[in-house]
């Protein structure tokens, strides 16, 4: 089986395009194959054509209803997905609190202060002074 490109001259015979499963006959004096450079054809013998044509026709008859049912199921699935997806987005919008610029969340209640921290009630200055003294003592011991 010889390979040929669409749009080029061909001798008489039968040519099969595997991309779209079609058989193209070229009459006796010869002619050009249909299509363009992207179309590929295989030249097949007449006996193979006689065997291949009923098989291709049978596949068409069998798979045409299957393709129809598959397309209907696909269209219905897309509709259901759009309904579910749209309602889920609406539901999430109703449950999500609105965004308020400048509002802080998860920071505790107003007026709630930690009494144990050293910065409360002037204790921060005392803690810093104690730390300074400790550092000065350690430096004196290092110099000795």
Instruction: Give the integer Cα–Cα distance in Å for 83 and 95.
Output: 18
Query: How many residues appear in the chain?
Result: 144
DSSP codes, 21-85: TEEEEE-TT-EE-SS-TT-EEEEE-HHHHHHHHHHHHHHHHHHHHHHHHHHHHHHHHHHHHHHHH
Instruction: Give the integer Cα–Cα distance in Å for 59 and 97.
Output: 57
pTM: 0.43
Instruction: Give the integer Cα–Cα distance in Å for 78 and 75.
Output: 5
Q: What is the number of structural domains in the chain?
A: 1
Distance of CA 97 to the CA centre of its chain: 29
- At 97 the pLDDT is 64
Q: Is residue 94 part of a domain?
A: no
Q: Is residue 40 part of a domain?
A: yes
Q: Is residue 8 part of a domain?
A: yes
Domain residues for the domain of 10 are: 3-44
Instruction: Give the integer Cα–Cα distance in Å for 118 and 126.
Output: 8
Q: Is residue 135 part of a domain?
A: no
- At 98 the pLDDT is 65
- The tens place of each residue's pLDDT in the chain, 144 residues long, gives 678 899 899 999 999 998 888 889 999 888 999 988 899 999 999 998 898 889 888 988 988 899 999 999 999 999 988 877 667 667 766 666 666 777 766 666 665 555 555 555 566 677 888 899 999 999 988 876
Q: Is residue 16 part of a domain?
A: yes
């Amino acid at each position: 089986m010889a390979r040929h490109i669409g749009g080029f001259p061909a001798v008489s015979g039968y040519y099969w395009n595997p991309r779209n499963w079609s058989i193209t006959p070229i009459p006796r004096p010869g002619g050009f194959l249909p299509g363009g450079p992207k179309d590929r054809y295989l030249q097949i013998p007449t006996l193979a054509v006689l065997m291949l044509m009923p098989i291709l026709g049978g596949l068409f008859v069998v798979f045409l209803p299957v393709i129809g049912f598959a397309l209907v199921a696909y269209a219905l699935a897309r509709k259901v997905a759009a309904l579910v997806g749209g309602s889920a987005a609406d539901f999430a919008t109703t449950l999500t609190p609105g965004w308020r610029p400048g509002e802080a969340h998860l920071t505790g209640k107003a007026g709630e202060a930690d009494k144990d921290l050293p910065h409360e009630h002037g204790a921060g200055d005392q803690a810093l002074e104690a730390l300074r003294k400790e550092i000065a003592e350690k430096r004196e011991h290092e110099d000795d």
